Amino acid sequence: MSYRIRPAKKFRGRWQAAGDKSLTHRAFLFNALGEGEAVLRGLNAGEDCARSRVLVEALGARVEPVEGEKGAWRITGRGGRFRAPDGTLDAGNSGTTLRLACGLLAAQAFASTLDGDDTLRRRPMARIQAPLAALGATVTLTNGGTAPVTVQGGALAGCDYVSPVASAQVKSAFLLAALQAEGASSFREPVLSRDHSERLLRRMGAEIVTDGDGTLRLSGPQSLRCVSLDVPGDISSAAFLIAAGVLVEGGNVLIKNLGVNPTRTGFLDVLERMGGRFALYHPREEAGEPVADLLAQHSALEAVEVAPDEVPRLVDEIPILAVLAARAQGKSRFHGLGELRVKESDRLAQTASLLEAFGAKARVVDDTLEVEGGARLKGAEVDAAGDHRIAMAASVLGLLCRGDSRVNGTACVATSFPEFPGLLRRFSDGALAQDGDG
């Protein structure tokens, strides 16, 4: 698929935010481990989250649509005792599905093999091998540290683990396994990563203590009870619409039911420092998560400096922050972006190349992205390189150019945000059109 994009004369609209991707994965995976039944509403409709649903079904969890409620699912958990799968568990493009499932399976009395598509097979899996091995699981990787991954489950013993990377996926895999282990465990990471797992596990009855330095402590084994959820909106998806509202002349975007978990709002903090005009209304809590409505408006922007310790709170938003920086006054620098090299693409290199293709000046120096603002952007034809966030960032760039643009390889957007092209078309009064490119 490809998008054809013309310059936008407007970008205005309101939207009930699509369900958070991180929370949707966890809603399926964690409830599958729990006792009882839960109803899940407001879920992310992307292909990645569907992989988590199908995977827990393969492990014996019962998952069925709720009659009369579009997009709602009823799940019956396995109470910690999964059924051995008939074959390889396919995570598709979803690193979250694969890595968290390894934690689920680490204490089961059978071996499981997990695999994915060609893109997932290039992503590093050694980062979950070490913490699970520390608990006593046997995790076998392929080709020097990638999928397919085989997990030989068995009796686990609690341990203290210090992670070399700040990763919510690593933390979540460890917690899921440690809850099934015998004895005390602790987990510490260099910088606090998103905390959806701790929040949801506590709602499910887990006793997890957070020390003053962010270390998580728990003792196992612990049982979980299934909990129903109304999943709040995904800020990582909404960021593309917020950015377009700020960048397009006369832009005005209202997003309802947006998740504003403090471990996820780094994008908003940076946008505010750049001079972006937005406001949060009706703050509340849903599903144990902070939620608000957000109004964003066209703004003049200034360059920004982003430090390495900010990156875990905005790692998925770097491509669209770079687009904002291209239209700001001055040179912006984003430091500590090494993690972007192991996303669906080398997202760091792809972001710089994308900006250059549209006429902006950008370069990568070690793990820092530098973007020179104030460029007059020109229409371009680019490829998304199999990366949904590159595809969406390119689409927003296309709205800002002199001349038409084309973004090829956009089928990947369906992994996280299938509503995106329709919303961009509606908010921009038809500036985006879709067609097939084989």
Catalytic (active-site) positions: 316
Give CA–CA dist 89/112, Å, rounded: 8
Do residues 412 and 384 make contact, with C-beta atoms less than 8 angstroms apart? yes
- Provide the 3-class DSSP secondary structure of residue 141: strand
Sort residue 257 into left (φ over 0), alpha (ψ -120 to 50) or beta: left
Tokens 């292909």 belong to which residue?
47
Do residues 196 and 261 make contact, with C-beta atoms less than 8 angstroms apart? yes
Give CA–CA dist 186/178, Å, rounded: 9
Give CA–CA dist 407/426, Å, rounded: 18
Give CA–CA dist 316/307, Å, rounded: 15
CA-wise closest residue to 261 among 274, 246, 280, 243:
280
Do residues 200 and 194 make contact, with C-beta atoms less than 8 angstroms apart? no
State the Cα angle at 343 between 337 and 344, rounded to 5°.
145
